[in-house]
Structure 1
Amino acid sequence: MAKRTLVRAAAVLGAASLALAGCSSDSGDESASGGDGAAASATTVTTDCTPEEATAGTTPSTAPLKIGTLLPDTGSLSFLGPPMVAGTQLGVNDVNAAGGVLGQPVQLIPGDSGDTTTDTANSTVDRELAAGTQVIVGAASSSVSLKVIDKVASAGVVMFSPANTSDQFVCYADKGQYFRTAPTDVLQAQAVSQLISDDGGQRVSVLALNDPYGTGLADNIVKNLADAGIPEDQIQKIIYDPNAQSFNSEIDQVKDFAPDAVAVVGFEESAKIITRMHEVGIGPSDGMKVYGVDGNMGNALGEAVAPPLLDGMQGTTPLTDVGPAFQDRLKGINGALIDFNYAGESYDAVVVSALAAEAAKSTAGRDIAANINNVTEGGTPCTSYQECLPLVQAGTDIDYNGVTGKLDFSDAGEPSIGSYGKMKFGADNKLTTDGYIVVGE
C-alpha cells in the first residue's frame, strides 16, 4: 500500500479558503501543571516532520488480545468517561461476536485515568502492563497521555486515544506506538474559526487554559482566523491557569477589548468563566457570541451553570452522524448516557486494533502498531469488524470506514479528516446538534 508523507501545513492553509483536542510547551509536565501563561502562549510545537512508524517484530504472538482502558472515571474530564467506556465495551462485544481475534475472545481490562492532579494514570498503566495488555485505549486528556506515553511506548504496547487532539503528538517520539481516532486540533481550529466567521465575527477574544490542549488549540484558532482575513490586532489571546480561584482579571481584559465574539477553550472551569462573563454583561445570554470546544461543549457544562446563562453559546466537538441505532446500542451498555462524545472514536479504536492484529497475524503490540495505519486507508472499503474480518483473513488490503466515518490515517497515526458537530445551548442549558462541519478533505 502506498504511504503518504504527512504534510500538516496543508490542513492549516485550508483555513484560508473558509467562508468565514495541546502543544504549548516542550515540557508536557510544565504546561499541564499551569506554569507561566505568557511563556506557554509564545511556545510553538512543530508538526512538520516524518513521524516514527512501528516495525513488526520477528516473533509473532498468538496470545489472546488484551485491551486495557485509560479513561476518566474520576477527575476534571470524568463527564467524558461514560460514553468512551461504553464505546470501548461495545467495540469489544462486536469483535468477540464476530469471532474475536485470531480465533480467541478479546479481554477487556478497565482502568481509570484520573487527571493531571493525581498519579492515577501511572498506577493504571503499571497494572495493565503487568496484566499483559497489548493495547491501551486512552487517555482522554492530552496532558494525561503525555504523563504515560513514554512508559507505554517503551513497553511495545499500543496507546490508542479516542479523544486526544493536541498537536504535540504529531511529531512526538512515540516509537510509532501512539495512535488516535480523534482529529488533531489543527482541524478543530478550522471548524471553530468557520463557526465564528460564518456568524460575522470580526474582533475576537480567545480564552484558553494553560495546558498542551488549550494553548495548542488557541494558537491554531488565532492562526486560522488571521488566515481567514481578520487582522491580528483584532484578535486577543489570553492564557489562564485553570486552577485559579477566579478568572476576574482575564474576563476584565476581554471586556476591555470589546470583542464581538469570544472563544472559550477549557474544561470544567468554563462554568466559572461563563458565569463571570454574565456578571459583567458579556455572557452568551447577554448577546455576546460565545464559542466552546470539545473540552466544554457537553451537558455537564449546562448542569454547572444556572439557566439560561448558556443560551445561544455554540461550539464544536469531534462528532459524526452515527445515527440513533448506534446510540441505542450504547444505551444498551449504559442506559444513563446523555452524551455520546467520543463513543464512536472509542469503538473504532477497538475495531482498528483488532483488525490490525488480524492483519499482522499477531497480537504483539509492535506488530499491531505496524498494521494500524494500513487497515484504515487505501484498500477495499468495509464498515464493520464482521464485514472486514474475512477480507483480512483472506489477505485483502482493507480500508476500514468506521462508526466515525472515513479515517484515512496519516503516517502520524491519526485521521486526516475531521468531522465536528455544530453544538448549541438553548435557554434550558441543554445541548442540541445543529449540523456538522467536515474539514481536511
Structure 2
Amino acid sequence: MLVSRRSRVASLAACATILLATSACGNDKAEEKSAQQVRLYGTDGNMLNSYPAELKERANLVDGMKGTTPLTPLPEDFKSRLRSVDPALTDYLYSAETYDAVVIGVLAAQLAGSTDPAAIAKQIIGVTNNGQRCEDPASCLALARAGQDIEYRSVSLTRAGFTDKGEPATASYATLTFDGQQINDGKTEFVGAGTESAASTKAPPKPRKQPAGGKDDQEPLVLGGLLPKTGDLAISYAPMAAGAALAIQEVNAAGGALGKPVTWLDGDDGTNPEVAKATVAKHVADGVSLIIGAGASGISREVLPDVVKAGKILFSPCNTDASLTDVEDKGLYFRTAPPDSLQGRALADVILRDGSQKISIVARKDSYGEGLQATVRDELQKAGIAEDRIKLLTYDPPADAKAAPVDFAGGAKEIKDFGADAVLVIGFGESAQVIRALADSGVQIVH
C-alpha cells in the first residue's frame, strides 16, 4: 500500500544513540556523547548511480540512502538495446519514458498524416487509448499507416493510457537503496499507483491512411531534443539520450513516418531557462514539430509559453510537478512521467516504514522541489505525523555551472537543532551539498 497506516506511525518511537568518542585534546579516555542520527531519503532527481560522484571523496555518505522514482521493471531486452546505443550506460531512469515519448509522437504524426503540430497533438492521447493493441514501433506504424486506431503499450506505458490532460493515468514507482555507493538492485521494490479508469475515453480525429506506394506529400517529421546535457540535472542525461536515440533508430528501421525517415535534432536545456529558451528558438527556426523535454519541470514551465506561441508541441519524459497537469498549454503539452501527486504517497510510505518521527524535507526552490515537498508533507500529515514534527527547508539552486555551490550550513544547523531523525532531499546533482553540510554539522547519517 502507498498510504501508511496511522497506527503504524503511532507505535514507533525515536531513540537517541549513545556513542563513545575520544576527546579532541589528545586524551584517550573514552567519554559518552549523545549523537543525533538521521536517515537520508531522495527522489528521482538524485536516486541515480551517477549521484555519489557529486559527493566526490565523500561518496560513502549516500550508503543506506533510500528514495523513490517513477520506474517500471524494465525488460532485459530493452536494457540491452539501450546499451547498444550507449555501452557506458549505468542508469536507466526515464530512459523508457523518453523512448515512449518519441514513439508516441511519431505514431501521432503518422495517424494525423501530417507534420503540423496542431494535427499531431490531437492524436497523441488517442495513440494510447481505445484502439488495437500494439507494443513496438514496427507493428504500431504498420497499423497507423493502414488508418487503424491503435492503443500503444510499451516499456513505461503498461497498464493504462493517457488522461484527458495528456499524462499517464497509472504509474509504477520503485523504492531504491544505495549500498556500496551504487543502487542495490536486489533491494529494489516496485509498487503501482493511479487508476485505469482515469484514462481518456475521448475519440481522436479519424486516422488518415497513408497513400498507396508509401509516399506522403509531407516534409520529413523533425523532432528536437530539449534534454539536460548540462546543468544540475545533467546526471540524468545519459539514459534519456539513449532512450531517444533508440526510439529514432527503431522508428526509422520500421520505415519512419509519412514515408520518410524521422529526423532528430539534438538540443540542451542546460537546466537553465536561458539555455532552454535559446534551444527552443533554434528548434522553431529549424522546423521542429515536436520538442522532447524539458528535463526539469521548472524549465518546462519557463519555456512552455514560447513553445505554445510558436505552435509547437512540448512532450516531456520526466516532468513530475503536479501543477503542470493544469498548466495553460492550448493542448500542446504532454508527458510520459506521472505527476508527483502519486510519488508523494510512495515517498511518505518509505519514510514512515523506517519509523521516522521528526522529518525534515529539504527541496530546491523551484516548482518541482517545492511542489513535491508540499505533497510529501501533506501525505505525512494524513498518516498521523503532527505539523510541528515536520520541518520544511528550501535552497536556491546555482544559476549555472559557474555559480558558487549551494551553501546549506545554516539549514543543516536548523535540522540538527530541530532534532530530525529523517531528512528527505529533493533536488538534482547540486543537492549533494545538502548532504555534505549535514555531515559537517555533526549529524550522523545512518548507513
- Contact 2:235–2:429 (CA<8 Å) still a contact in 1? no
Between the aligned partners of 2:203 and 2:438, the Cα distance in structure 1 is 47
Give the secondary structure class of the aligned counterpart of 1:67. Answer: strand
CA shift, 1:98, in A, is 1.5
- Deviations along 1:392-423, whole A, 9 cap, x unmatched? xxxxxxxxxxxxxxxxxxxxxxxxxxxxxxxx
Aligned to 1:217: 372
- Deviations along 1:368-404, whole A, 9 cap, x unmatched? xxxxxxxxxxxxxxxxxxxxxxxxxxxxxxxxxxxxx
Aligned to 2:435: 274
Pairing 1:230–2:391 present: no
Give the secondary structure class of the aligned counterpart of 1:111. Answer: coil
TM-score (norm 1): 0.51
- Over 3 Å counting, the alpha-carbon distance change for 1:153 and 1:56 in structure 2 is farther
Pairing 1:90–2:246 present: yes
Aligned to 2:188: none
- Over 3 Å counting, the alpha-carbon distance change for 1:51 and 1:183 in structure 2 is closer
Alignment counterpart, residue 137 of structure 1, candidates 292, 306, 311: 292
Between the aligned partners of 1:150 and 1:210, the Cα distance in structure 2 is 21
Between the aligned partners of 1:54 and 1:131, the Cα distance in structure 2 is 32
- Deviations along 1:228-259, whole A, 9 cap, x unmatched? 12111211111222347521111111111112
- Deviations along 1:25-50, whole A, 9 cap, x unmatched? xxxxxxxxxxxxxxxxxxxxxxxx98
Aligned to 2:139: none
Between the aligned partners of 2:418 and 2:396, the Cα distance in structure 1 is 20
Aligned to 1:252: 413
Alignment counterpart, residue 261 of structure 1, candidates 418, 422, 445: 422
Structure 1 counterpart of 2:235, which letter? Answer: F
- Deviations along 1:317-371, whole A, 9 cap, x unmatched? xxxxxxxxxxxxxxxxxxxxxxxxxxxxxxxxxxxxxxxxxxxxxxxxxxxxxxx
- The RMSD of aligned alpha carbons is 3.0
CA shift, 1:58, in A, is 13
Between the aligned partners of 1:54 and 1:107, the Cα distance in structure 2 is 29
Between the aligned partners of 1:51 and 1:252, the Cα distance in structure 2 is 42
CA shift, 1:196, in A, is 0.2
- Contact 1:54–1:177 (CA<8 Å) still a contact in 2? no
Aligned to 1:26: none
CA shift, 1:159, in A, is 0.6
- Over 3 Å counting, the alpha-carbon distance change for 1:50 and 1:97 in structure 2 is closer
- Over 3 Å counting, the alpha-carbon distance change for 1:247 and 1:238 in structure 2 is same
Structure 1 counterpart of 2:378, which letter? Answer: K
- Contact 1:50–1:171 (CA<8 Å) still a contact in 2? no
- The percentage of aligned residue pairs carrying the same residue is 39
- Contact 1:70–1:111 (CA<8 Å) still a contact in 2? yes
CA shift, 1:168, in A, is 2.4
TM-score (norm 2): 0.51
Structure 2 counterpart of 1:204, which letter? Answer: I
Structure 2 counterpart of 1:271, which letter? Answer: A
Aligned to 1:152: 307
Aligned to 1:15: 3
Pairing 1:120–2:275 present: yes
- Over 3 Å counting, the alpha-carbon distance change for 1:16 and 1:154 in structure 2 is farther
Pairing 1:66–2:227 present: no
- Contact 2:229–2:268 (CA<8 Å) still a contact in 1? yes
CA shift, 1:114, in A, is 1.0
User: Within 5 Å, which residues of 2 pair with 1:44-83?
Assistant: 51=165, 62-83=218-239
Give the secondary structure class of the aligned counterpart of 2:338. Answer: coil
- Contact 1:54–1:175 (CA<8 Å) still a contact in 2? no
Q: Which has the larger radius of gyration?
A: 2
Give the secondary structure class of the aligned counterpart of 1:170. Answer: helix
- Contact 1:51–1:171 (CA<8 Å) still a contact in 2? yes
CA shift, 1:210, in A, is 0.9
Structure 2 counterpart of 1:65, which letter? Answer: L
CA shift, 1:269, in A, is 2.4
Between the aligned partners of 1:63 and 1:80, the Cα distance in structure 2 is 32
- Contact 1:274–1:283 (CA<8 Å) still a contact in 2? no
Structure 1 counterpart of 2:375, which letter? Answer: N
CA shift, 1:103, in A, is 2.2
Note the residue ranges of structure 1 that are not aligned, 5 or more in a row.
1-12, 22-48, 288-311, 313-441
